[in-house]
Amino acid sequence: MTEIRDQETIGKIWTDAVRSHGAKPFICIPANPERDYAPQGLELTYRDANEAIAALGESYAGAGYGLGSRISLFLENRPEHVLHRLALNAIGASVVPINPDYRASELQYLIDHCQPELILTTISRLDFVETVIATTGHRPLVHVVEKGPTPPLSRRRASRGKPDPHTESQILYTSGTTGRPKGCIISHGYEVSCGDWYRTRPGRFVVRDGLERIYNPLPLYHINSGVVSLIGAILSGNCQIQPDRFHPVRWWPEVISTRATIIHYLGVVIQMLMKQEPAAIDRAHTVRAGFGAGVEPQLHAAFEARFGFPLVEVWGMTEMVRVLCQGEEPRQVGSRAFGRAVPGIDIRVVDDRDVDVADGTPGEMVLRHSKETPRRGAFSGYLKDEAETEKAWRGGWFHTGDTVTRDADGTLHFVDRKKNIIRRSGENIAAAEVEAALLTHSDILQVAVLAVKDETREEEVLACIVLRSGAAGMPLAEAIFRFANERLTYYKAPGWIWFADDLPKTGTQKIQKHTIFPDHADPRAADGMIDLRALKRRQ
């Protein structure tokens, strides 16, 4: 069994990295003249960063923060997020990153739910934060990072002692794509094991010690950028390149100018890059591999041929980042394959009664470290929700909520989130499969496929579509239906189509399907809804 590196703290691995890699680059901020911080760009070595981190740690400890403190970071993708977070973790404090796209009600919920002692923010965010705090039951202190390193004195003294591998390091809130965000408690040992797992994956995705420059445009409040690649970089003496966010126009200039060797992506990133006109810049980079999830099967091989490097599909989630990786050949490019069980993670595919299903049959993927220590290497639980934690771990296996299939050789293929499976006349339809087909239509920019009630067939397929071109209306809807019907089994084609100007998204560009229509509203009654059910006929 592969040993999990979960017996160290973040402060310990940082100290080791500074000792071993002090002169090497640690964090790189690409230039962006339109940004209100580091417009000319910024690069800090491990030694440079350590000077700032040590000074911040002393300041926080002197103000009474430390073991048992919980501090929210409303700092976007600024380098301050990384520096303050490492300083706070080193003295035993926990951090709660805040999604910069949160609305007032969402921030209010987070503050009252996790009750931070202090919120770190910027001048540009201060008025918003103070307005929200005036409406919350819990009233944290606020510190603006541009005003200096000295925070207000803590209202409670920190506990005595030092952090250990089980100490809470962060509360990471889930994206809330299907409901209220849950606060995932993660520990120092969990973060270290995530980073170590990332840097030791075999195959086409290999992290070389001291040689990689990792371009990760995802937000630092998300586990991908804020834990997996960041801690992986620290453990391997590498540099994380942290743009403010993903911009399709700036992507290649930033990747090239920062000399990136690894890029992180989501499916939407690949879609947008592929829709740009081919140019000489497409091959002017030094990228060795991409690491991500959600590339549409129809785009996978085409992207690799155009840009000249492999996209290695992975699976992971905040609660269990034992990243499964489709890095070894054959990678099954053009499928939704993402890896298989390996030493250190057991996997089953089960039905709704937790009974194993046959290979090739869709079922929910459930995971554990081992029979003896099922929860090793996993999150510590959901904040203030022990019942939901135990429900997720029922039977000694973590229930991911992801529907997958498994080949005879053990290769796993993503189907969809379990909640995104549409049940029509006894047939299970994966919304992701329908979305993938529709996204190849030249007029479609974005799409979200949902289940809607159907009095005859239990559920029907609804496609919510943002157009790239074309006039919304019945003629285009019928053309889109015919397009889908030619590529999918007849019952998978959309029975309803609804054209939208935009679709609500999380900060990681996942479409928030549950917010497209008002709570308890029947989508079929929405203005502009087009009924195409009469066109769905078995051939």
Write out pLDDT tens, residues 336-354: 999 898 888 999 999 999 9
Please check whether residue 2 lies inside any domain of the structure: no
Q: What percent of the chain has pLDDT over 70?
A: 98
Q: Which residue has the higher pLDDT, 255 or 490?
A: 255
Model confidence at 177: pLDDT above 50: no
Same domain, 433 and 400: no
CATH of the domain at 503: 3.30.300.30
Reduce the DSSP state of residue 300 to 3 states and report it: helix
Tens of pLDDT, residue by residue over 35-64, are 999 999 999 999 999 999 999 999 999 999
Model confidence at 328: pLDDT above 50: yes
Mean pLDDT (the chain) is: 92
Same domain, 445 and 398: no
pLDDT for position 179: 52
Same domain, 430 and 389: no
pLDDT for position 271: 86
Using the 3D structure, point to which of 406, 439, 474 is the last residue of a domain: 406
Same domain, 438 and 401: no
Same domain, 435 and 373: no
Domain count for the chain, please give it.
2
What is Dmax (Cα atoms) for the chain?
74
CATH of the domain at 256: 3.40.50.12780
Model confidence at 175: pLDDT above 70: no
Same domain, 523 and 487: yes
Please check whether residue 4 lies inside any domain of the structure: no
Reduce the DSSP state of residue 276 to 3 states and report it: coil
Q: For residue 445, give the nearest of 421, 464, 459, 430 by alpha carbon.
A: 464
- Under the banding of pLDDT at 50, 70 and 90, the label for residue 311 is very high
Same domain, 136 and 266: yes
- What does the angle CA 156 – CA 162 – CA 165 come to, to the nearest 5 degrees? 120
Reduce the DSSP state of residue 285 to 3 states and report it: coil
Q: Are 168 and 208 in contact (CB under 8 A)?
A: no
Look up the pTM and report it: 0.83
Over residues 199-215, the mean pLDDT reads 92
Please check whether residue 5 lies inside any domain of the structure: no
Over residues 384-394, the mean pLDDT reads 95
Q: Which residue has the higher pLDDT, 40 or 202?
A: 40
Task: Tell me which residue range forms the domain holding 449.
Answer: 425-535
Please check whether residue 192 lies inside any domain of the structure: yes
Same domain, 50 and 195: yes
Model confidence at 515: pLDDT above 80: yes
Please check whether residue 366 lies inside any domain of the structure: yes
pLDDT for position 342: 87
Over residues 62-72, the mean pLDDT reads 97
Model confidence at 470: pLDDT above 50: yes
Model confidence at 262: pLDDT above 80: yes
How many Cα atoms sit within 13 Å of 244 on the Cβ side? 16
pLDDT for position 329: 77
Using the 3D structure, point to which of 406, 434, 455 is the last residue of a domain: 406
Same domain, 400 and 429: no
Same domain, 253 and 342: yes
Q: For residue 365, give the nearest of 379, 346, 380 by alpha carbon.
A: 346
Same domain, 400 and 504: no
Using the 3D structure, point to which of 345, 375, 406 is the last residue of a domain: 406
- φ/ψ of residue 272, rounded to 5: -70, -35
Give the chain's count of helices (H) and strands (E): 14, 26
pLDDT for position 234: 98
Tens of pLDDT, residue by residue over 417-456, are 788 888 887 677 878 889 988 999 999 999 999 999 888 8
Please check whether residue 3 lies inside any domain of the structure: no
pLDDT for position 1: 40
Q: Using CB atoms within 10 A of its CB, is residue 330 exposed (0-12), middle (13-18) or buried (19+)?
A: exposed
Q: Are 521 and 459 in contact (CB under 8 A)?
A: no
Tens of pLDDT, residue by residue over 95-152, are 999 988 887 888 999 999 999 999 999 999 999 999 999 999 999 999 999 998 899 9
Please check whether residue 449 lies inside any domain of the structure: yes
Model confidence at 178: pLDDT above 60: no
Please check whether residue 24 lies inside any domain of the structure: yes
Same domain, 361 and 502: no
